[in-house]
């Protein structure tokens, strides 16, 4: 007798049908229905008895066995959905499939019900040799089974039966130590595991097909909302997605955060947040060298910013983009320090006074000299290192400032924004540092 039976007494299993089981006109005497009823009665009467005195080893054993029980029950649900499809149960309530009938009758999501349908169809038919017994004993749960079914279905149609069975057996074996996510990766390489000479050729052909399809469906959409923001979505091949992520990670990595910022606001579990990736994307675009971009309409693919001389010298009027948008004069002055845009400066009668000169940008040698001198961002209290900074003209270039080491300094991305923000006063200290004070 079990210890819980000694303490609480053996569970009493009712021989009467549980509430809700009686269905008018339906014979409930089938062995499957009887087994479900008995299991339900036992769990209802004794499923939580004695949990208070379970020790750690017993709790662990109970968890594993309970999960196996859930897997067995789920496999039964999957097989019943397959049977329901055969007997056209869905016609009883006008549903389109047995899975939809289950979703309606048991408040199951369509996604989960469809998975039961896929797995049940496979267990009852093409994968009954190894996968079905493993599911029926609870060794493989429905989520794992769904991954295995998809992996086996993706194998070549002309694959010999013996290799298909070997792949099925191998994946069932891997399920003992790998969850559904890991199984998905293994499933894509299963042919290479069981038959390298066949698998490598299949993997190469499959990869080429995926790459062709990815290139064919690649797209990017951008829409301006009219309130200073552009929203977009994109689809890229795996390679280009990896390239973009690598580039963004270079700007969004933890060492690029200001020390004054709370890392928890920018990172979750050590990974950049969407907000930080958005800022990194901005920096990536601003750092594109216009010389590396292809020409469009005979000119480089750079943004032309049109502003009046008064705005460039410190006014507040907006600056116009050649794409039809507008930015603040402060933002235009900030970008003119380093980004590869072309400022088109107009006089009082809209005559073109200047179309920018790339000579206004500090050279690599100048940046190296400033890095040695400044040691990083010169904003008071900021310790961002040189490789995380921009070169800035202390005397604005448009006001006669010179592009040299003496008239330049290094500022991190945040303080480079602030130095051009009219909400802040900037004072140069005797130490060479810049002090920022918010205007009242």
More confident residue, 104 or 401: 104
Per-residue pLDDT tens over the stretch 282-337? 888 877 766 666 654 333 345 566 666 565 555 555 676 656 667 776 776 666 66
Beta bridge partners of 306: 320, 344
Q: Which residue bears the tokens 């891997």?
A: 174
Confidence at 265, pLDDT banded by 50, 70, 90? very low
The DSSP bridge partners found for residue 352 are 346
Q: How confident is the model at residue 72 (pLDDT cuts 50, 70, 90)?
A: very high
Residue 207 to residue 15: CA distance in whole angstroms: 58
What CA–CA distance (Å, rounded) separates 90 from 93?
6
Helix, coil or strand: residue 229 = coil
- What whole-number distance in Å separates Cα of residue 248 and Cα of residue 110? 37
Q: Give 327-370 pLDDT, tens digit per residue.
A: 776 776 666 665 544 455 555 454 444 444 445 567 777 777 78
Own/partner contacts of 110-119, CB < 8 Å, gap of 24 or more, are 113/81, 115/142, 115/143, 115/146, 116/74, 116/77, 116/78, 116/81, 116/142, 117/78, 117/81, 117/82, 117/85, 118/146, 118/149, 119/75, 119/78, 119/145, 119/146, 119/149
Count how many residues are written for the chain: 440
Q: Which of 407, 405, 411, 406 is nearest to 377 (CA)?
A: 411
Identify the band that residue 74 occupies on the pLDDT scale cut at 50, 70 and 90.
very high
100 or 47, which is more confident: 100
Give the Cα-Cα-Cα angle 283, 286, 289 (nearest 5 degrees): 125
pLDDT (tens digit per residue) in 194-211: 888 888 887 788 778 888
DSSP reduced 3-state for 434: strand
d(CA 333, CA 79): 68
User: Tokens 């400044």, residue?
Assistant: 374
Distances (CA, A) of 311 to 150, 197, 315, 330, 419: 62, 69, 4, 8, 15
pLDDT digits (tens, 9 = 90+) for 218-255: 999 999 888 888 999 999 998 888 888 888 888 877 55
How many angstroms separate the CA atoms of 31 and 237, rounded?
Answer: 52
Do 352 and 346 touch, CB atoms closer than 8 A?
A: yes
Three-class secondary structure of residue 257 per DSSP: coil
pLDDT in tens, 131-159: 999 999 999 999 999 999 999 998 988 88
**Domains located in the chain, CATH noted:** 1-19+27-44 (no CATH), 59-212 (no CATH), 236-287 (no CATH), 294-358 (no CATH), 362-438 (1.10.30)
Count CB-CB contacts under 10 A for residue 404: 13
pTM above 0.85, yes or no: no
Say which residue, 31 or 129, is predicted with more confidence: 129
Residue bearing the bigger pLDDT, 276 or 152: 152
Which two three-digit tokens encode residue 160? 């010999």
Structure confidence by residue, pLDDT tens digits, 19-60: 444 455 556 678 888 888 888 887 777 656 667 778 898 889
Q: Compute the mean pLDDT over every residue in the chain, rounded to the nearest whole number.
A: 78
Q: Which helix (H) or strand (E) holds 239?
A: helix 238-252
| Sequence-distant (≥ 6) Cβ neighbours of residue 90 within 8 angstroms | 84, 96, 97, 98, 100, 101
Give the E-state strand segments of 160-240 in sequence order.
219-224, 230-235
10 pLDDT exceeds 60? no
Q: pLDDT value at position 258? A: 43
Sequence-distant (6+) residues with CB within 8 A of 359 are 403
For residue 250 the two structure tokens come to: 């270079």
């Amino acid at each position: 007798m079990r210890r819980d039976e000694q303490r609480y007494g053996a569970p009493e299993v009712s021989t009467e049908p549980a509430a809700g089981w009686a269905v008018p006109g339906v014979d409930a005497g089938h062995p499957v229905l009887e087994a479900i009823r008995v299991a339900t009665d036992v769990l209802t009467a004794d499923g939580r008895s004695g949990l208070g005195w379970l020790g750690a080893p017993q709790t662990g054993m109970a968890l594993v066995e309970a999960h196996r029980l859930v897997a067995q029950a789920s496999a039964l649900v999957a097989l019943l959905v397959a049977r329901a499809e055969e007997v056209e149960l869905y016609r009883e309530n006008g549903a389109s499939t047995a899975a939809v009938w289950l979703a309606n009758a048991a408040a199951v999501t369509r996604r989960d019900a469809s998975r039961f349908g896929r797995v049940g169809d496979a267990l009852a038919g093409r994968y009954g040799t190894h996968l079905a017994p493993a599911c029926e004993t609870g060794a493989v749960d429905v989520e794992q089974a769904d991954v295995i079914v998809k992996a086996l279905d993706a194998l070549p149609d002309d694959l010999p039966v013996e290799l298909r069975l070997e792949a099925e057996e191998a994946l069932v074996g891997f399920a003992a130590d790998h969850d559904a996510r890991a199984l998905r990766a293994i499933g894509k390489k299963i042919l290479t595991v069981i038959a390298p000479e066949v698998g490598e050729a299949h993997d190469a052909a499959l990869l080429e097909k995926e790459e062709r399809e990815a290139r064919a469906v690649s797209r990017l959409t951008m829409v301006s909302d009219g309130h200073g923001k552009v929203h977009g979505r994109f689809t890229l091949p795996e390679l280009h997605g990896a390239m973009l992520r690598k580039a963004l990670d270079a700007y969004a990595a933890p060492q690029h955060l200001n020390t004054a910022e709370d890392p928890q606001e920018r990172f979750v579990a050590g990974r950049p947040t969407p907000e930080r990736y958005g800022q990194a994307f901005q920096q990536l675009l601003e750092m594109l060298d216009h010389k590396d971009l292809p020409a469009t309409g005979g000119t480089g693919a750079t943004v032309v910013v049109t502003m009046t001389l008064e705005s460039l010298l410190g006014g507040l009027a907006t600056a116009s983009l050649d794409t039809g948008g507008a930015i603040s004069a402060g933002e235009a002055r900030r970008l003119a320090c380093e980004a590869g845009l072309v400022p088109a400066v107009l006089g009082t009668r809209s005559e073109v006074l200047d179309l920018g000169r790339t000579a206004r940008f500090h050279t690599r040698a100048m940046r190296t000299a400033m890095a040695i001198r400044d040691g990083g961002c010169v904003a008071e209290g900021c310790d961002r290192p040189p490789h995380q900074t921009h070169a800035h003209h202390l005397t604005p270039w448009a006001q006669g400032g010179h592009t040299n080491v003496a008239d330049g300094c290094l500022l991190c991305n945040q303080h480079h924004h602030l130095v051009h923000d009219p909400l802040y006063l900037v004072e140069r200290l005797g130490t060479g540092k810049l002090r920022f004070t918010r205007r009242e």
